[in-house]
Structure 1
């Protein structure tokens, strides 16, 4: 009987270990929550013993027990952030990452319970996940902006637009500039729009339809024409510095629409070797580059 019970506990722990990285591994999020709530809570003596084993002997089994016994804490913290429209399982998964980081850094000699230490790491990972995934465009990048984001969302009445008095009150309470509050409110209230139409309807209209084509902008067109003309004039001037034979070789090799003549064809034309034609060509191109750079 005891062996069967031990096997069942071991199997349950194994399943929970798999579910740490994927809360959906037990079927549904409700099944996961029910499972973690059935895991035993450690006493302070057990917690201290396990933490010492992890710290002093790098005992991974001790780390696993510490993590499993605090999974219910992650569920509780993650539930506080359901209003951001992100899946509960994803919030729990990120919180579990924070829990594992906390277990790794926990020092039992400080006289603090792991639950008090871990809650900060759990919230930090969930905060980072929300800021990274709440919108396609990040609403907060710095630590101060992230703090303002979460505080402002909590303090905005029903998510409504703030008036001047409310902006001043929030700025005073959070000890930030009113401009920062207004800017964050604009970021949070902004609506994302798809660049392209979501269907094949000919009447659908999306931003891609009216975004400007910089290549067709008049000043760009005139600039390209001027550059082409300058390059053409520069090529003519560079060819003028060559003697007749060198110019004929360069034009025959590089300025023909049909791919140009080969070294052997030009060698037969001038009655010299193909190697001599190559040397003349190299010297001519070097002289042209010098003329273009002047």
Structure 2
């Protein structure tokens, strides 16, 4: 219906049903010290782009398609806002920026007593990172030093001389696309401000139920509270919680559609 009839209500339902995915993905970037609310806002923009562009006839699930756009928007935000100094001037450095933390975590505990190499990594670790990411050991040392120094940020021109598996390489070039105008008009619709407005239009109980059911992600990556958990908390039946949830989501959709 969204594709064939430009059904805004259908788009709203798709968006609301994937808010938890945005929150979950945003948590993966908590280590960069940026406000999660801002990360969620950028992820919501990516979600909107995914919903607008999604073609069910391509045989790809919306959740898989949306993950690409959500991460792309968050990546762009991180690159523009992380601390104060430009450090990623090549794609090799971008690969290191987005992968070095996870690799260090993977190495943690391996020969911990022998970590006497430069920039907090052992020489063996430096060589291992260089091999896995196909970069020079010198690049590994430089990026680790800058990231550990607490005064780094990314905002750099694209270097097309080398290949990279970084998700940034897959970001679509939107220049000249007619859909860009449409997306700009709907950007606020999915911004955190718009969602916040929709939430604050609910009564306290309805708002908390929506937040617990749709926006909360546990530390283990699972979803928020169940109907039965909320029912026990409020002293009502699970069916009553479901009814409140449905009514609240319907009211939120109307608010978002009117934005």
TM-score, normalised to structure 1's length? 0.44
Question: Relative CO higher for 1 or 2, CA cutoff 8 Å, sep ≥ 6?
Answer: 2
Structure with the bigger percentage of helix:
1
TM-score, normalised to structure 2's length? 0.49
Say which one has the larger Rg. 1
